[in-house]
A and B are shown apart, each in its own frame.
Chain A
């Protein structure tokens, strides 16, 4: 089990990244032209509120000092108040995590469920019709804009077939899941094409590899060669690709949540940008960044579990 010791000390290695994230989010907001107090509180702020925020964030002091105020507030779990919703930013974000998290999870699971069989069919029929069709379809699939694909799925499933809700989010578990089917499908149709292409390439290599040759020379039938040797070896690079694409996936939720009016963090970000609710923009960006770091950490654990050679 010593291979998993990194789980304990790895988080220490995140410190520089977390520090960088805090610097970037801090700078983002300070770059906005105008009086920072007015920027943070909006144009209709009272003089008292402005005085309070000046003190809290040290807005009259030099930049470096301001950054330390920012960190101190952060340590207190204090990320300011939303102008639009009039509540604490972190509390606001907390109410928005669930739809986004569920959407991401469903999308990843769905993508893997699509990508693995599709890649397997393509790789095992390399060069034949099935492979060609999958290649062309996946080349197209990469270019599908999620916002448009979402609308097309709405037309098909909600308007024409009328079997799934158009948009919004339910209250019960089944209601929520029903509302998540189309958004997850939208995300995973794009993601699974990327995964399937990479997985197919790894499987094609794997089928030609020395490992496969050796297994065949031991009299193993193709099915064992594929499922026991080729597939496990192909999964490692695919998990890495999935980890690399996590940032892209989380970003994609912003668009998809807007299309389907899902009350998640992405939708919150877009609304906040339009209403110049910069405290919320800053908070959402930071939470998204920390989530990416966390997910990459999880991917590291999965990689170590899949590949005994990897040491972290």
Chain B
């Protein structure tokens, strides 16, 4: 290997609190060669973002400081460099892009000006030359009409285009290293593939070194040369990707790889099909459902069909997955089924009864269905302890006697694998995974026939995701539940659900048995969706290069 471009040795970052120092980064060492792509993986709180920020000395709080170790960039020490020199390093030598382009781009500044800013400051070009350079960069990152789009504002673009703009801003000062902190986490899977391809193109064209932070092992397997694993502020393992994925040394790396939801091979044996009574009444029977939302104000009325003619049946005991990208209408469909969103036309029957036929039916629906939400914190009332929350549900539902409520609360926590000590805890003092378990306990408190889980693992770390999916699998088995599981992660749905429904722009484009749909997709959209999932096996490359990097599906939003 050539001499390292960036060399980090025993980098330690501490937090000065009242209770003394707390070590957040513990003697992290690694180096980065010119042109190399290093993947940095780890769960939330492992310190991977903090590490990236420390490299350019942009610590997020004044209570944090680098207490030891060194960072050398082409032989220059950065930990002790004066601030003025760091200004030249940031952007000029090390560029950064972030997870959420919507919040990192200045909403009141034109896209082009945000790129020009760096060019003018670092390269001292005049306004005209800087503008020309910025237009050139916009073209490089895939803006189809850069001269015109220079003057647009960030909100006028889709998420994918915003991420392209942010990459453009990072490239504006010709850095040699690009740090990409979860650059595709907020994006749909097909857009993610485009952005990753763009990053690799740029890296090849400019000979950039890249540090790619991600929680998705599939992404590192696909695009990185080496992988570094972080755990509790320490870099526990680093190595060439094939070797590391094949023979992980650290226990955490092993559990990370084991938890990674992968699409199984085509010839995997079909799941044991549950016996279905012929002629049984479907739990949910949706016919030609339309849900339309009004948009605009008094003078610009419009409407979008969030759900545009959906027909779907779910039989008792079935586990059905609904997949699709953001805006496909899958969440709206779920809310309509639970009677939480008014329906424009079509019918929804629950257990054979039309749910639009009166308050009594709605009441019945409320006592036999329950929902699990995406954001575990947002889904729980912050003022109530878990025990009070469950007791209230049991009391309102009135299915068991008051005297038995406390005992039942305990049982529910057992079911979801939370200790009874959690009865007195409030959501704020619990982790995301624990909150999600409490949310599932609340759903079970209804003793429902049907549970709809809406992206309920999307906000969780991979290892926690795997646990929650496992919990659902157990509960479905044990309690003969019917489950509608909505997710954008195809692998999770493939692993959990017998049947899958693919939604795109408000319509169902394909449905069928999971193994059938995933191995032999009939619809082009399903195929594209499956092809865009980065596989953990580095030898199964992501999409053919020719199809990529052209922002077609991902055009200007308005």
Contacts and interface: CB of A to CB of B under 8 A. Distances in A.
Given A210-B98, A214-B98, A219 B108 contact: no
A217 B108 contact: no
B173 interface: yes
A267 B452 CA distance: 65
Contact of B105 (A214, A217, A232, A307): A214
A229 interface: yes
B122 interface: yes
A221 B90 CA distance: 10
Most chain B CB inside 10 Å of its own CB: which residue of A216, A229, A236, A309 = A216
Interface in A193-248: 209-211, 213-221, 224, 228-229, 232-233, 236
Contact of A217 (B90, B117, B121, B298): B90
Contacts of B89: 219
Contact of A219 (B88, B109, B153, B298): B88
Contacts of A308: 107-108, 153, 155
A9 B299 contact: yes
A218 B109 contact: no
Contacts of B60: 213
B118 interface: yes
Contacts, number: 85
A217 B172 contact: no
Contacts of A229: 106, 109
Contact of A214 (B87, B104, B153): B104
Nearest to A211: B106
B170 interface: yes
A4 to B, nearest CB: 14
A212 to B, nearest CB: 9
A219 B91 contact: yes
B79 interface: no
B490 interface: no
A13 interface: yes
B95 interface: yes
B173 A218 contact: yes
Nearest to A219: B91
A150 B442 CA distance: 61
A220 B106 CA distance: 14
A74 B87 CA distance: 65
Nearest to B113: A228
B108 A220 contact: no
Contacts of B108: 232-233, 236, 306-309
Given A210-B100, A214-B166, A214-B169, A220 B117 contact: yes
A213 B90 contact: no
Given A211-B107, A221-B121, 15 more contacts: A13-B298, A210-B103, A210-B104, A214-B166, A215-B106, A217-B96, A218-B95, A218-B170, A219-B88, A219-B121, A221-B87, A228-B109, A228-B117, A233-B108, A307-B108
10 contacts: A210-B100, A218-B90, A218-B96, A218-B172, A219-B88, A219-B118, A228-B117, A307-B108, A308-B108, A308-B153
Interface of B: 56, 58, 60, 87-92, 95-96, 98, 100, 103-109, 117-118, 121-122, 153, 155, 166, 169-170, 172-173, 298-299
Nearest 5 pairs of A and B residues by beta carbon: A219-B91, A219-B90, A218-B91, A217-B96, A210-B103
